């Protein structure tokens, strides 16, 4: 390759003040000083965790909740749509006959394995009765694997 | 130092006081570094241990002391154990010649500048040996880089100091400060030498933007990759003490040392106390600059570092010496 590369980009011409470095350094130092002094709208983004907590943004997908209707009955009719759509197979429903007039079934067992759940919100979208939703609850904590499988009572009270 | 027992005792007291001072300052500096870094990065920083987190350095040191010491399998055990001491000791003993107050230093050496330069340069052996003895390629590269860097910047630094010595006409650190108390700070006579010295001091201490010896993003941890526990702690402490020594030298040579500028020092102990206070304030200001620069600038590339050292600073420092020489000789002939 003796020919010169025509696609080679030209080097930007640099002024002597750039080559001194010092003006740029001073500018950078001034910038960080503003950060230290917290002038010009800089603020501390971290919080003192256990005492203060970050605000949860609207639309955050946290733990699930089973909704109840105005009579205090769970809205769920055990149609298994959420169980079917769930990509991580974490929902387990066993249906039983509903004691009420307006529907045929209700869930006898409604369990969500929180260790498997990926919080995608597909169950919420698939539900025809608007019976399941994702809350803004962020701290899914337990001391054993068994506790991480949320049953119907837990989900209703969430 | 004279031979009478009282003089030796006073010397010992001063040595303990000043050494204790820097040994206290070094952990606090680590603390300050972390808090200032946090402020620059819009974080809070360590604030849990003790009031405002002031006991954090203590907790750090306790942690380091109790950590397991690991020596790599095929490491050179003698050198590996010796290296942290070699990094730590020169930094600590080079402080003796610095006048921290009026007539207050551990050893009043009449070749103070040369002594400090000579001893601080020894610190690089600790880093190189540490890199060599670890039997790790990252450590070795860190050690090699460090030695190359210090050789390059030592020259520029020495040449920058030469122009200071030409102006003050003395190599005794106390006399240089006294000259500045009379005639004003040397930074105003020698701004170029000041900048060269400052940058070379950053490089000499392996501080960002010149921390080629550590260089986390390329060399894991550089020379101290394989070090754990208090051996690592010694490197760490040595680095910060070296920082304090270099800042002290900077304050002494360019910023008037213990001279309070606005008023004359009273006679006796009160004057000495004020002079120590002035020195401390200036020292802390320079140390703040160190930390501030570290969290502002990105790291230089290795070839850029060498280019800056050999192609910019050495010629500039030589030019500065020639110019200073001409001006000084003209002034002394007419005056």
Alpha helices in A38-86 (DSSP H): 81-85
For B104, phi then psi, to 5°, come to: -125, 100
Task: Give the pLDDT of residue A18.
Answer: 66
Say how far residue B122 (Cα) sits from the centre of its chain.
13
- Could you tell me if A34 and A111 lie in one domain? no
CB contact under 8 A, B295 and A43: no
Q: Which residues of A touch B (CB under 8 A)?
A: 22, 25, 28-29, 31-33, 35-36, 38, 42-46, 48
Three-class SS of residue A93?
strand
Q: Averaged in consecutive runs of 10 residues, what is the pLDDT profile of chain A (158 residues)?
A: 67 71 84 83 82 86 89 88 92 89 88 91 90 88 89 86
- Tell me how far apart the alpha carbons of residues B299 and B153 are, in angstroms, rounded to a whole number: 16
Does residue A97 sit within a domain?
yes
Look up the CATH number of the domain holding residue A108: 3.30.70.3270
Tell me which H or E stretch contains A90.
none
Over residues B331-335, mean pLDDT = 68
| Nearest CA among B162, B172, B150 for reference residue B193 | B162
- Could you tell me if A18 and A93 lie in one domain? no
Over residues B117-144, mean pLDDT = 85
Tell which wins on pLDDT, B141 or A17: B141
Task: Give the pLDDT of residue B64.
Answer: 86
- Could you tell me if A41 and A70 lie in one domain? no
| Nearest CA among B91, B90, B125, B134 for reference residue B224 | B134
- Tell me how far apart the alpha carbons of residues B34 and A35 are, in angstroms, rounded to a whole number: 15
Task: Give the pLDDT of residue A87.
Answer: 93
- Could you tell me if A122 and A92 lie in one domain? yes
Out of B166-170, B190-194, B263-267, least confident range: B263-267
| Nearest CA among B250, B246, B245, B255 for reference residue B278 | B255
Contacts of A29 in chain B (CB under 8 A): 292-293, 296
Asked if A114 and A149 touch (Cβ cutoff 8 Å), the reply is yes
CB contact under 8 A, A29 and B44: no
CB contact under 8 A, B296 and A25: yes
- Other CB atoms closer than 10 Å to residue A74's CB: what's the count? 20
Is the confidence at residue B1, as pLDDT, over 50?
no
Asked if B288 and B250 touch (Cβ cutoff 8 Å), the reply is no
User: Over pLDDT 90: what percentage of chain B?
Assistant: 2
Does residue A25 sit within a domain?
yes
Asked if B53 and B45 touch (Cβ cutoff 8 Å), the reply is yes
Residue with tokens 């006898």, as numbered in its chain: A108
State the DSSP code for A87. Answer: T
- Could you tell me if A118 and A148 lie in one domain? yes
- Could you tell me if A145 and A92 lie in one domain? yes
- Other CB atoms closer than 10 Å to residue B32's CB: what's the count? 18
| Nearest CA among B241, B220, B290, B249 for reference residue B85 | B241
Which ipTM did the prediction report?
Answer: 0.72
- Tell me how far apart the alpha carbons of residues B80 and B135 are, in angstroms, rounded to a whole number: 9
- Could you tell me if A18 and A80 lie in one domain? no
Does residue A35 sit within a domain?
yes
Task: Kindly indicate the confidence band of residue B334, based on its pLDDT and cuts at 50, 70 and 90.
Answer: low
Task: Write down the domain spans for chain B.
Answer: 70-334
CB contact under 8 A, B36 and A36: yes
- Tell me how far apart the alpha carbons of residues A117 and A144 are, in angstroms, rounded to a whole number: 16
Contacts of A45 in chain B (CB under 8 A): 42-43
- Could you tell me if A121 and A93 lie in one domain? yes
- Could you tell me if A106 and A39 lie in one domain? no
- Tell me how far apart the alpha carbons of residues B204 and B202 are, in angstroms, rounded to a whole number: 6
Is the confidence at residue B232, as pLDDT, over 90?
no
Distance from CA of B187 to the nearest CA of A (A): 17
- Could you tell me if A37 and A92 lie in one domain? no
Token code pair at residue B207: 């501080």
- Tell me how far apart the alpha carbons of residues B205 and B242 are, in angstroms, rounded to a whole number: 6
- Could you tell me if A94 and A21 lie in one domain? no
Task: Give the pLDDT of residue A86.
Answer: 92
Asked if B18 and B279 touch (Cβ cutoff 8 Å), the reply is no
Buried b (16+ CB within 10 A) or exposed e, B108-143: bbeebbebbbebbbebbbbbbbbbbbbbbebbbbbb
Say how far residue B58 (Cα) sits from the centre of its chain.
22
Does residue A50 sit within a domain?
no
Write out pLDDT tens, residues B239-296.
Answer: 888 888 889 889 888 888 787 777 777 777 777 888 888 888 889 999 999 899 888 8
Mean pLDDT of chain B: 83
Asked if B109 and B125 touch (Cβ cutoff 8 Å), the reply is no
Parent domain of A73: 64-157
- Tell me how far apart the alpha carbons of residues B291 and B34 are, in angstroms, rounded to a whole number: 9
Token code pair at residue A45: 């983004």
Over residues B65-93, mean pLDDT = 85
**B304 interfacial to chain A (CB closer than 8 Å):** no
Three-class SS of residue B321?
helix
Task: Kindly indicate the confidence band of residue B83, based on its pLDDT and cuts at 50, 70 and 90.
Answer: confident
Over residues B151-166, mean pLDDT = 87
Does residue A92 sit within a domain?
yes
Does residue A4 sit within a domain?
no
Over residues B97-117, mean pLDDT = 80
Token code pair at residue B84: 């942290």
Asked if B154 and B204 touch (Cβ cutoff 8 Å), the reply is yes
Tell me which H or E stretch contains B6.
helix B5-40
Tell which wins on pLDDT, B109 or A79: A79
Residue A126's alpha-carbon distances to A80, A95, A113, in angstroms, are 10, 18, 18
CB contact under 8 A, B43 and A36: no
Mean pLDDT of chain A: 85
Token code pair at residue B6: 């009282």
Which residue in chain B has the smallest CA separation from A37? B39
| Domains: count for chain A | 2
């Amino acid at each position: 390759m003796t020919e010169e590369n025509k696609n080679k980009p030209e080097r930007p011409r640099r002024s002597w003040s750039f080559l001194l470095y010092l003006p740029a350094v001073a500018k950078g130092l001034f910038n960080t000083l503003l950060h230290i002094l917290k002038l010009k709208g800089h603020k501390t983004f971290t919080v003192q965790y256990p005492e203060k907590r970050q605000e949860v943004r609207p639309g955050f997908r946290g733990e699930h909740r089973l909704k109840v209707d105005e009579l205090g009955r769970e809205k769920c009719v055990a149609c298994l749509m959420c169980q079917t759509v769930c990509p991580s197979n974490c929902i387990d429903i066993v249906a039983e006959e509903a004691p009420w007039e307006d529907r045929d079934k209700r869930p006898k067992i409604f369990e969500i394995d929180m260790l498997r759940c990926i919080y995608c919100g597909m169950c919420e979208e698939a539900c025809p009765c608007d019976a399941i939703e994702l809350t803004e609850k962020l701290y899914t904590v337990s001391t054993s694997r068994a506790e991480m499988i949320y049953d119907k009572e837990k989900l209703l009270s969430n | 130092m004279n031979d009478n027992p009282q003089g030796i005792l006073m010397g010992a007291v001063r040595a303990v006081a000043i050494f204790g001072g820097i040994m206290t300052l070094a952990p606090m500096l680590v603390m300050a570094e972390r808090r200032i870094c946090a402020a620059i990065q819009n974080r809070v920083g360590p604030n849990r241990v003790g009031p405002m987190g002031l006991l954090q350095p203590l907790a750090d040191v306790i942690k380091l002391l109790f950590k397991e010491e690991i020596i790599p399998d095929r490491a050179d055990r003698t050198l590996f154990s010796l290296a942290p001491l070699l990094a730590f000791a020169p930094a600590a003993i080079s402080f003796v010649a610095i006048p921290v107050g009026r007539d207050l230093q551990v050893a009043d050496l009449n070749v103070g500048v040369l002594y400090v330069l000579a001893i601080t340069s020894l610190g690089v052996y600790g880093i190189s040996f540490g890199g060599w003895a670890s039997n790790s390629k990252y450590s070795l590269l860190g050690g090699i880089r460090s030695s190359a860097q210090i050789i390059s910047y030592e020259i520029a630094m020495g040449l920058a100091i030469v122009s200071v010595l030409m102006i003050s006409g003395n190599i005794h650190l106390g006399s240089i400060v006294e000259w500045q108390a009379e005639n004003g700070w040397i930074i105003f006579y020698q701004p170029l030498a000041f900048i060269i010295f400052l940058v070379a001091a950053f490089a000499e201490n392996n501080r960002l933007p010149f921390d080629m010896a550590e260089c986390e993003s390329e060399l894991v941890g550089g020379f101290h990759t394989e070090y754990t526990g208090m051996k690592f702690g010694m490197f760490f402490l040595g680095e910060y003490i070296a920082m304090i020594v270099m800042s002290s030298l900077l304050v002494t040579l360019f910023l008037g040392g213990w001279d309070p500028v606005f008023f004359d020092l009273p006679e006796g102990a009160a004057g000495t106390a004020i002079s120590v206070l002035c020195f401390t304030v200036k020292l802390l200001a320079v140390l703040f600059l160190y930390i501030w620069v570290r969290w502002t600038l990105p790291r230089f590339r290795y070839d850029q570092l060498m280019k800056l050292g050999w192609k910019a600073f050495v010629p500039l420092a030589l030019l500065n010496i020639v110019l200073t020489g001409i001006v000084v000789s003209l002034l002394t002939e007419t005056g």
